[in-house]
Amino acid sequence: MTTVLGTAPIVRRRFVVRGVVQGVGFRPFVHVTAVGLGLAGEAHNDAGGLVIEVEGPAPAVAEFAVRLADGPPLAIVDGVETSELPVRGGREFAIGASDPDGAVRTLAAPDVATCADCLREIGDPADRRYRHPFATCTNCGPRFTITVDLPYDRATTTMARFPMCARCAAEYADPADRRFHAQPIACPDCGPRLEFLGRAGPVTGDEAALAAARTLLRDGGVLAVKGLGGYHLACRAADEDAVATLRRRKRRGAKPFAVMAPDLDAAGALAAIDEVAAGLLTGPARPIVLLPRLGRAGEGRAGEGRAVKGEAPLAADVAPGSPDLGLLLPYTPLHHLLLGDGPDGPGPGSLVMTSGNLGGEPIVADDADALVRLAALADGWLRHDRPVHVPCDDSVVRVVDGEELPIRRSRGYAPLPVALPIDVPPMLGAGAELKNTMCLAAGRRAWLSGHIGDMDDLATLATATAAEEHLEHLTDVRPRVVAADLHPDYRSRAWAVDRAGRGGVDGEGVRSVQHHHAHVASLLAEHRVPARQKIVGIAFDGTGLGTDGAVWGGEVLLADAAGFARLGHLGYVPLPGGDVTVQRPYRMALAHLAAAGLPWDPDLPPVAACPLPERRVLAHQLTTGLGCVPTSSVGRLFDAVAALAGIRQVVDFEAQAAIELEAAARGVDPGERRYPFPVGAGPVHVADPAPLIRAVADDVLAGVPARVVAARFHAALAGLVRELARRAARASGIDVVGLTGGVFQNALLLSAASAALRADGRTVLRHRVVPPNDGGLCLGQVLVAAAVRGDERRNDGEG
């Protein structure tokens, strides 16, 4: 009997696969699939994507097409074009080299955490990569951070300087091997080498360098350790003195440190980890996950020093006063070897892992730079000779209602593109001022850089320029238009103007985008809301320049990408003296009290916290309006309430008061009392904060605990969101509500507001791809600038 395949016609078909197809094990996948189906043919990368030709019985070719559409696990297939070719004969399936020429670039892949197979190998004494700090395969390892150019091949990565040994070369060339065409392939014979630099001079040899670094950690030292995207500063998380030293040297204030636990079990002893969080902690991107910490043991300086037995799991200084802990798991073999048990004894336990930099500066990635810039911060350096081409910080996420909420989108995510709902010309989005990222966009894609940092720093500006140039190189997008924030004093704007003035941006210059419109547009972009479809965008944050010159931050915008109408906002109160008030929430509390017509009762914590001379100046300012700007900022309202509740009068880092107010409210029953938050009649719906401030002050003076005040405030704010959305729906007929802006990093508020909106039958759009904070702003900027430009062109055409 002849088989069905035996009688089927023989066909030859070409597939061009576009998307993230390089550095994700696509060619081995194609090889195994084709050979498994008995197909002949060949595959190679070119600049347009992965080109595959297969030949064989028609049903087998059809099955190949089905499997191809999914691709290997790390691939993102944007599209597959197929065409029929004449049959050529042959029985082999060949993998070709990459073709470096071509007009269109494929996409670079993000860095991927060490896979289970590689981890097993580095733990297996019989394996030739036993304890090799640089083991990788097609399923894991560095990608974006080592990519110098595309197409992604060893020669275009920082691994180019390491010639493969014969055994690695054989694995690299073997289509059946897990390391087939794994560009960063390495082994102890041919790979990068570790080196430890300490007070006593350099220690070479991987095992000796590791042991020296672990000794330094055990002895309470601060170690600069080179990872995928740059240097971290590490110390034992249980060591009170070491953590305090690191905090002091880094000039970190009270800002929490992230902690790398050796494994999921160890992480589970530190924080409450549900299934979603466990998936994020162990997933290929391996971000820092903000989680509720367990048993506040270790708070209050137990003073056990370096004792391993019986000590608190975390030093008090790791995350002082924070109910959350930023946790991450090892994501390179080096991390696994540093934290795990070794020939020199048990591992050092969980480590504080913080970016190697001073607060606000970009992460240090260059080896020579690390020796200089980290000299005052570290006691020793564990480094290697594989250069980091693209600095990239750790990403940060949180879990809200069982969904991932990005807080910082960087390593493991960058430079994956975000699909856009409209076609855009080649553009650059310059982002905002703090926590900046920028993006390039063209066609239906936007590529966001990793986290860059605060743009008020010269080093950050240089990093921004380098990141932008590299992104241009990888994407081949040469921006014609630059989108920037409206604020004339933002460094990001000056940077954008400079960028537009240099060659390359021919002619169209800088387009200004209002801050909160950009926030709402970032939601439109990531949810791919069709052009001209309006949503009700509720944008709550700390600061953004409004079109009326006020500091906005409590906005209800009826918006599509091309424009917005301000349907409502938080009522204006005077913001006296800008930055100084942002740093001292007690000033904002006094401003809110004055605006509500309430006396500055010395029994109220912010009044007591404000020195008398400052109080006099403040009173004068608020009466005369001198040096005051009107603000509708919800971020500042959080500051005022946190100060009134006695939780925080002066902040060390951005949003500290709001974070602590959320922490105080968590799990607390607000009781019967409802704080009033009336909204005025239209056409613009203004929410009056005065009755709320009065109620808060009454509660505080009556001795109601701070946590109850905090819970009542959160309930009131969620209720306000619901009411503002009702008014907006009545005015516009639109039931889709987007929640955006830095305030919506607050899990309690985001969850409560979403539930309230859904109870009214509304559709809620939340961030899943880019952060609600200013780290997502660049995405919205390009969408708005493109939509406005498109409208102008259409209007010009009609006129």
- Binding region for Zn ion (CB under 5 A): 115, 118, 137, 139-140, 165, 168, 187, 189-190
Q: Which lies closer to Zn ion via its Cβ, residue 190 or residue 497? A: 190
CA–chain centroid gap for 111, Å, is: 14
Q: Which lies closer to Zn ion via its Cβ, residue 81 or residue 189? A: 189
What is the C-alpha to C-alpha distance for residues 724 and 680, in angstroms, rounded to an integer? 10
Single-letter amino acid, residue 58: A
Residue with tokens 């980890």: 273
Residue 333 tokens, joined: 């073999």
Dihedrals φ, ψ of 271, to 5°? -150, 160
Nearest-approach distance from CB 115 to Zn ion, in angstroms: 3
Q: Which lies closer to Zn ion via its Cβ, residue 117 or residue 792? A: 117
Q: Which lies closer to Zn ion via its Cβ, residue 120 or residue 768? A: 120
Residue 132 tokens, joined: 């090799």
Q: Which lies closer to Zn ion via its Cβ, residue 138 or residue 350? A: 138
Nearest-approach distance from CB 108 to Zn ion, in angstroms: 18
What is the C-alpha to C-alpha distance for residues 258 and 350, in angstroms, rounded to an integer? 10
Nearest-approach distance from CB 707 to Zn ion, in angstroms: 46
What is the C-alpha to C-alpha distance for residues 406 and 523, in angstroms, rounded to an integer? 13
Q: Which lies closer to Zn ion via its Cβ, residue 139 or residue 754? A: 139
Pair 400, 746: CB distance under 8 Å: no
What is the C-alpha to C-alpha distance for residues 302 and 299, in angstroms, rounded to an integer? 7
Length of the chain counted residue by residue: 799
Q: Which lies closer to Zn ion via its Cβ, residue 100 or residue 188? A: 188
Pair 100, 148: CB distance under 8 Å: no
Q: Is 681 exposed, middle or buried (0-12, 13-18, 19+ CB in 10 A)?
A: exposed
Q: Which lies closer to Zn ion via its Cβ, residue 137 or residue 747? A: 137
Residue 666 falls in which region: left (phi positive, over 0), alpha (psi -120 to 50) or beta: beta
Q: Which lies closer to Zn ion via its Cβ, residue 189 or residue 498? A: 189
What is the C-alpha to C-alpha distance for residues 531 and 674, in angstroms, rounded to an integer? 40
Nearest-approach distance from CB 125 to Zn ion, in angstroms: 18
Helix (H) or strand (E) holding 80: strand 76-85
What is the C-alpha to C-alpha distance for residues 531 and 265, in angstroms, rounded to an integer? 47
Nearest-approach distance from CB 520 to Zn ion, in angstroms: 40
Nearest-approach distance from CB 122 to Zn ion, in angstroms: 10
- Write out the E strands in 219-376: 223-226, 231-236, 258-260, 288-292, 324-328, 351-355
Of 192, 167, 541, which is closest to residue 386 (Cα–Cα)?
192
Of 101, 81, 78, which is closest to residue 20 (Cα–Cα)?
78
Of 709, 698, 717, which is closest to residue 661 (Cα–Cα)?
709
Beta bridge partners of residue 592, listed in sequence order: none
Q: Which lies closer to Zn ion via its Cβ, residue 137 or residue 209? A: 137
User: Could you give the residue ranges of the DSSP H alpha helices within 578-679?
Assistant: 579-583, 585-595, 605-609, 612-624, 634-644, 656-665
Nearest-approach distance from CB 300 to Zn ion, in angstroms: 43
Q: Which lies closer to Zn ion via its Cβ, residue 164 or residue 388? A: 164
Q: Is 385 exposed, middle or buried (0-12, 13-18, 19+ CB in 10 A)?
A: middle
Nearest-approach distance from CB 120 to Zn ion, in angstroms: 9
Nearest-approach distance from CB 404 to Zn ion, in angstroms: 24
Nearest-approach distance from CB 142 to Zn ion, in angstroms: 11
Q: Which lies closer to Zn ion via its Cβ, residue 182 or residue 242? A: 182
Q: Which lies closer to Zn ion via its Cβ, residue 190 or residue 278? A: 190
Q: Which lies closer to Zn ion via its Cβ, residue 128 or residue 730? A: 128
Nearest-approach distance from CB 190 to Zn ion, in angstroms: 3
644 SS3 class: helix
Residue 537 tokens, joined: 């965008």
Nearest-approach distance from CB 329 to Zn ion, in angstroms: 15
Q: Which lies closer to Zn ion via its Cβ, residue 168 or residue 222? A: 168
Nearest-approach distance from CB 40 to Zn ion, in angstroms: 29
672-678 contacts, C-beta under 8 A, 24 or more apart:
673/699, 673/712, 674/712, 674/715, 674/716, 674/719, 675/712, 675/713, 675/715, 675/716, 676/716, 677/716, 677/717, 677/719, 677/720, 677/723
What is the C-alpha to C-alpha distance for residues 113 and 130, in angstroms, rounded to an integer? 18
Nearest-approach distance from CB 157 to Zn ion, in angstroms: 16
Nearest-approach distance from CB 136 to Zn ion, in angstroms: 6
